[in-house]
Every structure is written in C-alpha cells, then in structure tokens.
Structure 1
Amino acid sequence: MNKSKSIFILAMFLGLYSSAQNNLTGSPYSLFGLGVENNSNTGRNSGLGKTGISLDANQGINLYNPASFVTLKTNEITFDFGGSAELINLTGGSDLSEQNTTYNFTNISLAFNRDDKYGVGLTLKPSTTVGYSLIGLQNNIEGSDEEFISNIDGTGGLSEIRLDYARTYFKNLNVGVKASYLFGKIEETESIVTSSSYLEIDETNYYSGAQLGLGLQYNLFDKHNFGLTVDLPTVLKGTKDTYISKYSNDALSELEDTEDESIDNFYLPLKMGFGYSTKFKNLLLTADYNKSFWSATNQSDAIGDYKDQDIFSLGGSYSIDPTSYKYWKRVDFRMGLNYNSGYLEVDNTNIDTYSTSIGLGLPIGRRSVVNISYSLGRKGTTDSILIKEYVNTLNINISLSDLWFQQRKYD
C-alpha cells in the first residue's frame, strides 16, 4: 500500500472521531462498498450464534434456509417481525474513543404451511446499512497556502424483499428456493469550506437487482439434520443524482444538477453455506459454515480490497420440557459463537468480527413466541491506523401463529 493511500486512510479515520460534534450514526466501515452487512437476525437464530442452515421453523420463521419453510407448523399462518438496538463503542489510535446507538427493524415476514405439502413466505428486511460522518478534514488548496475544510456525511443502505417456496421430497428431503429483489439508495453530502466560499456536493446513488437462491435440508435417522444453501452471483445496477451548489460573494449559484447518470455496477458474489444440527433429548446443538467468493467479482474499492469471506457459527439451546404446561419448563435457553472473516481488507489487514450471544425463547400461549437475544461483538483492529468496534446488540423478535385452512365441522 503506497504512502499517499495510507495518509488518506489515516486522515479519514482521524476525521471520523476528532470532532466533539461528531454525529456518527453507524459503523465507520459502512463507508466502503454498499455499507456494512446487516447484523440483525431473526427468531431463535439471533441467540444461536447466527446458525440456522439445518434448523426447522417450528419455533418461528427461519430465514437462513428457504427449505425450512415447509417445516412451519401445519396449516398455521405465521407473522414474524422484530427490531434491534446497537450500542457501538469505537476506539482507535491517539486515544480516540466514540460511542453511538442505532436502531433498526430486523424483518417483517408472513408465511404459512399448507397441509405439510408446501411452505410459502414473504419477507422485507434490511440488507446493508450506511451511516458515517467525516468531520473537519483539512487539506491545502493546490498552488496556494490556503486550506479548506471538508465535512462528509453518508446515510442509507439496501433493503431486500424476498419470496420463499419449499416442498418435501422423499419424506426426509426438503427443497426450497428464494427469489430476492434488492433495492435502495446511498446518500452522501460533502461540504467544502474556505475563507471566502462554501461548496456543497450532494450525491445519491441508487442500486437495484434480483438474486436467486436454493436451499436443501435432509434429516437422517430422525436425529441428524443437514443443510445446504446457495445464493447465485448477481449484478446490482446503479445510477446517480448529483447536485452541486456554491455560495460565494454573498451569492448562491448552481454548478451542476444531473439525474439518472450511470455508475459502475456492484457485483454480489456466489455464496454457499453448510449446516449440521442434532438433538440429545431437549438439548439442541448446531453448527454452520458460510463462504462468499468476493474475490471472483473482480471489483475494487478506493480504500480496500475485496477478499473471500468465511463465517463459522456454533449454537446450542436447551428447554426442560417443551410440552409441559408449566411456563418456565417450556422456555428455550440459547447461546452461540460466531466468527466472520469479513470481505474487506485494508492495508493488508482483514476487517473481521468475533461475537458471542445468549438468548431466550419465551412462549406466548401454545403457538407463538417472543425471542430475545443479546450479543457482544468485536470488529476490526487498532493496528494499521484502523478502528476497533465493540458492538452490543439487543434483538427482540415476535413470532405470532394462528390456525388457518381448517374446514368447518359444523355449519
């Protein structure tokens, strides 16, 4: 990595935290690409270390594998929604420290299982999030001794709407497909201030595209469960709106106003996941491995490089007696571990994440459940002029189910 690039990165991260008036609304790493991958999780998966590829959906919708939709409770319709809150502590070189809190919804899902023949689900959820502020970046005006100050704010992200469909074949084999549409915008505002003028640049990038995925689940001897997921690579097409204005000599002038200008496409990679789970009486153990082939997209970022991503997840849950009439015997206790290598490399350093989680599944009546989880994660490093994040995440998810498709016994 050359010297000028290192200086730019250092200035960028120092600018993020050097101002007491910093209004950072998310991770500084959301500056790269289309933002950071959404950390929110649904249902019991959030307390199981983000595992779920081999898990069924009898405790609520499982978005980790489309094949699981056929395992929803028979002839019940399930409405699943939730939200999360994150408290992020950031540290860096020169005793830099910052803290911020963000809120978001995790998903809104509706699904049903028809006579154990097939399962269908429709979901809206965030895919990536962007939120950063670079305050007080100082630079020299080329050819003079005068300086200018830049302030940059970025917000936005992508959302995903997806349709899942699953069927059972050969009794123990579940097959599912999903069709997703990704869409959203990333807004960046830069203000450049000199002693005699003020320049503001507003850019809004729009991205959209479709993606297909496949899921398999297989049960062996009613004890061992295996799962496989594949998300096919796809292209998100982009356009840009730009508005530039300048205030100088007590006059405001418009320098540029363009719409629907084409920009570089963004390439999403091939993703594959493998999962295994087993039960010992009322103890569930589960493990997942996911790999994303980012290097095959052959795209680059001005600051870092895209690298293949590996995610390892472990989870376990225990309930005393799920069929008991006593409430606390039906409560599901959960914990999990997760390691994410990340797909971004800056200054030859991977931006990876370690996290641990605990959770509860609290029954509501006989069919519904409230899922609560807490996770603590560490992302990034203070080496190589980077930033380390400690992320505290609280997830609350409600899964409401009711009987449908029942024939009347009496007129």
Structure 2
Amino acid sequence: MIKKLIVFASILFSIVSWSQENTSSPYSYYGLGEIRFKGTEDVRAMGGLGIVSDSIHLNLLNPASYSKIKFSTFAVGATSSFSTLEANETSEKTQRTSLNYIAVAIPIKKFGFTFGLMPYSSVGYKIENNVTNTIDNTERNKRNTGNGNINSFFLGSAYSINKKFSVGLDVSYNFGEIETEYVESIYSPIILQLRSREKNLSNITGLSLRTGLFYNTKLNEKHNIFTSFTFSPEAKLTSKNERNIATIIYNVNGTELISTPSQDIPVDDQTLIIPTKFSFGAGMGRNNKWLLGTEITFTENSKMKNRFGEIAGVNYENSTRIAFGGYYIPKYDSFSNYFSRVTYRAGFRYENSGLVLRNESINDYGMTFGLGLPVGLSKINLGFEFGKKGTTAQGLVQENYFNLNIGLSLNDLWFRKREIN
C-alpha cells in the first residue's frame, strides 16, 4: 500500500508541477506577491492552527515539532482553488492548481531532521482597463500581467530536551523570478494601432531563519495542555531588476512581434524585506481523541517594499492573523469501524494581510473543514476551505474562493537494524 501511495504522490507532484499557476489574485501585484500559507493540509483544515505535534504528521509551521516525529515521513500537498473576483458590478471566475510543499523528515533518537521545498510567495494576475474619449473617438487599453514565484528550500532540525519541551530551527534559501508586463494600446481613426510595452524582471534571492518552541504537559490523567511559540527575525532579499521597453504588434495568430528595436532601461536593484514574525498558540485536548486551540501571529508588514519602489495609493501596516480550530477522533484504535478512526477537523481564521489600498485594509477570512483518512501508518488528508479576501469598496476587488486541499503523509521505519533469530 505504501508503494502505491508513493506512486500516487509522484503522479500528483508531476501533474501539479506542469500546471503551476499559484495565484490569480490581483493583490499579488504588491510587495513580494501573495504570501503562501506554510502549513500542511491537516493544519490548514484546522484554520491554520499549528500548535500540534505528533509521531506521523509534519508540522511545518513550527520547527520544534520535528523532534516529535517517530517515523521517517514523506509529505506532499497540493491545492485546487476556485475563485470569483468581483469589482464594480462585474465578476470573473478563475481556477488554479498549485503545489504547497514537498518535505522529508528523519527522526534520530531525540533529534528530528527535515528538508523540503515550498513556495514562499506567488505572483499571478491580469488586469485590463479600457477608456474611450468620445471627443476624438480615441480608445486606450491598458493591460497589466504578472507571474512568478519566490520558492524556499529549507533545512530544519529539532531536539527534545525532555518529554514536555522541544526546540527547533529552520534555515531557508529563498529564490525565484517574478516577471511583470504593462502594455498600453491606442486606437483612433487617425492612429490605427499603436502599442507600447514595458517588461520588468526581478531575480530574487536571500536567506531567512525561523525558530520554534513546543511545550506540552498533563492537566490531569486524561487531558493535556499544548503551547507553541515561533519567531522569525527580519530577513533581507536581494532583487536584481531589469526593464525593457518596446513598441509591439501582434500577428494574425496573436504572437507578439517587436516593431521597433527594444531598449533596456537601467533600473536600481532593491533590497526587499521578509518582515519579523512571531506567533503564540495554546490549546487543550486528549491524545488521539480531541483538541481545541487558538493561535495568534503578528507580522511587521509595515516595513514591506515593492520591487520597483513606491506605488501611489499603496501602504503597508503591521498585520495580525488569528486561528481557531481543532480535531476529533471517535475511536482511533477501532478494528470494526473505519470511520471511527478517521480524524475530523474544522477551524476558522482571520487575517489582516498588512496591505492598505486607497485607505482600505485588505483582510482575509476563511472557514475550514477536513478529514484525515488512515492508511496503515500513513494518512491521506483532505481539506475544504471557504473564504473571502479584499473588498469592493473604493473600486477594489473582492475574492470569494473555495479551496480543495489534499495532502499525503507517508510514514515508515527507515534505518532499522535487522535481527535474525
């Protein structure tokens, strides 16, 4: 069965890799793009609550959890997102599928070691605006498009000081390219067609760190108290920027052709900021039965910058994220009823993203549900998320979305010493 799941995970990874369109949000135009959620699908299904550590699930939100893993673990997750973008009494539907993470954890006595790859942020938008001058019948079309990712390759380690307390550290190398294009077209009875194009490319690299603490203790014979703390200091990314302008035309097949020699324009490189972040969470529950908890995260987003300098009407503020959720297992060791061993999860989250447009804070709300389906030592985690981001006030865009998440946590005992009786 494990071999079949690994084959399925490989197929999933291949499909998602070929269809990577990680976001369709117009808000990904700003800053470093749309900051991606770093947790696994089981955590996401509890509203993003990252206070739990166990022997078979990787908790990528807190590196201190790695020492709690008791089996060698391969984890992969992906999301299909279906969104409706609303603005000025118009709407448009979008769909995307993206890889959320791929990670491996290896336990060695009181230590746990993890490495993997996940997107840190994503850019993907297409915005068009048409304006007609009724006096001279001139029509202007403005189109903004962007795509790209900042990815993180991470190495992590954790140590269990005792049964109650563990500490951990992640080191991430962040890298990626973001390309944006601005095309303005003019049509008039005199000028049949004129298009100018500005293309920008940002090559982004840099290191970042994250530390974590886990503490759990017994409240009584049956119930436990769980606490979690993480801290990520401010990190700097180098954005090497390029700009090219040209006059363009399109042939009958829609292929872009340069009608005049293109010109490279010198632009300054930028030092971008991954802001300071810290979180604290706590909860109460019974092992292999139920858990309820909450977590709050603060991010110093007021220091965020755009890749090519300031943008009029755009500001940043410090952000807050609140998650509340939990899980329930009817009977984890049931032999007669499979659904009694299923983990049922639910949660709610609220996030002030830190982005302020036209004096409107861009907020994100979501409700989540999920199932953890046991397959031997492994789990297939399914999640469903309904949410809303942004607002239609001040001519902005509101995103109503539904996310379908699937994650695999494949576990086995590696490096076992064989014994012959």
State the distance in 2 between where 1:350 and 1:89 align.
20
State the distance in 2 between where 1:234 and 1:122 align.
20
3-state DSSP class of the match of 2:240?
A: strand
Q: How does 1:328-339 map to 2 (within 5 A)?
A: 328-339=339-350
Partner residue in 2 for 1:121: 114
2:208 to 199, 211, 217: 211
State the distance in 2 between where 1:372 and 1:204 align.
36
Partner residue in 2 for 1:13: none
State the distance in 2 between where 1:382 and 1:389 align.
9
Residue 323 of structure 1 deviates from its aligned partner by 2.0
1:55 to 52, 55, 72: 52
Partner residue in 1 for 2:150: 158
3-state DSSP class of the match of 1:350?
A: strand
Same amino acid, percent of matched pairs: 28
2:166 to 147, 153, 174: 174
State the distance in 2 between where 1:273 and 1:199 align.
46
2:102 to 108, 129, 136: 108
Matched letter for residue 296 of structure 2 = Y
Residue 314 of structure 1 deviates from its aligned partner by 0.6
Partner residue in 1 for 2:290: 283
Cα distance change on mapping 1:25 and 1:174 into 2, 3 Å: closer
State the distance in 1 between where 2:128 and 2:183 align.
10
Deviations 1:351-392 (A, max 9, x none): 001110000000011x10000000101111112221111110
Deviates more, 1:220-229 or 1:298-307: 298-307
Partner residue in 2 for 1:18: none
Deviations 1:147-183 (A, max 9, x none): 5432221111211111110001144210000101111
Residue 219 of structure 1 deviates from its aligned partner by 1.4
Matched letter for residue 203 of structure 1 = N
Cα distance change on mapping 1:162 and 1:57 into 2, 3 Å: farther
TM superposition score normalised by structure 2: 0.84
Partner residue in 1 for 2:28: 30
Question: Any conservation in 2 of the 1:44–1:59 contact (CA below 8 Å)?
Answer: no
Question: Any conservation in 2 of the 1:204–1:242 contact (CA below 8 Å)?
Answer: yes
Matched letter for residue 312 of structure 1 = I
State the distance in 1 between where 2:258 and 2:49 align.
58
Where in structure 1 are there 5+ consecutive unaligned residues? Answer: 1-22
Matched letter for residue 81 of structure 1 = V
3-state DSSP class of the match of 1:343?
A: strand
Deviations 1:86-109 (A, max 9, x none): 11112122x111111111011100
**2:394 is aligned with 1:384:** yes
Cα distance change on mapping 1:27 and 1:39 into 2, 3 Å: farther
Q: How does 1:10-409 map to 2 (within 5 A)?
A: 26-39=24-37, 41-52=39-50, 54-73=51-70, 76-93=71-88, 95-115=89-109, 117-138=110-131, 148-194=140-186, 195=191, 196-221=193-218, 223-247=224-248, 252-257=259-264, 262-280=268-286, 282-296=289-303, 301-326=311-336, 327-365=338-376, 367-409=377-419
Question: Any conservation in 2 of the 1:40–1:84 contact (CA below 8 Å)?
Answer: no
Partner residue in 2 for 1:6: none
Cα distance change on mapping 1:25 and 1:279 into 2, 3 Å: closer
Cα distance change on mapping 1:280 and 1:102 into 2, 3 Å: same
Question: Any conservation in 2 of the 1:24–1:100 contact (CA below 8 Å)?
Answer: no
Deviations 1:244-295 (A, max 9, x none): 22248x9822231368x54222112110000112214612112111000122
State the distance in 2 between where 1:30 and 1:105 align.
17
Residue 39 of structure 1 deviates from its aligned partner by 4.5
Question: Any conservation in 2 of the 1:89–1:100 contact (CA below 8 Å)?
Answer: yes
Residue 137 of structure 1 deviates from its aligned partner by 4.0
Residue 316 of structure 1 deviates from its aligned partner by 1.4
State the distance in 1 between where 2:85 and 2:163 align.
50
Matched letter for residue 300 of structure 2 = F
State the distance in 2 between where 1:230 and 1:139 align.
52
Deviates more, 1:128-137 or 1:295-304: 295-304
Two-structure CA RMSD over aligned residues (Å): 2.4
Deviations 1:179-207 (A, max 9, x none): 01111111112222233533222211111
3-state DSSP class of the match of 1:310?
A: strand
Cα distance change on mapping 1:328 and 1:82 into 2, 3 Å: same
3-state DSSP class of the match of 2:259?
A: strand
Cα distance change on mapping 1:25 and 1:328 into 2, 3 Å: closer
Cα distance change on mapping 1:284 and 1:221 into 2, 3 Å: same
Matched letter for residue 55 of structure 1 = V
3-state DSSP class of the match of 2:66?
A: helix
Number of residue equivalences: 378
Deviations 1:224-249 (A, max 9, x none): 1111000110111111233322248x
Matched letter for residue 389 of structure 2 = K
TM superposition score normalised by structure 1: 0.86
State the distance in 2 between where 1:339 and 1:271 align.
16
3-state DSSP class of the match of 2:353?
A: coil
State the distance in 2 between where 1:220 and 1:25 align.
40
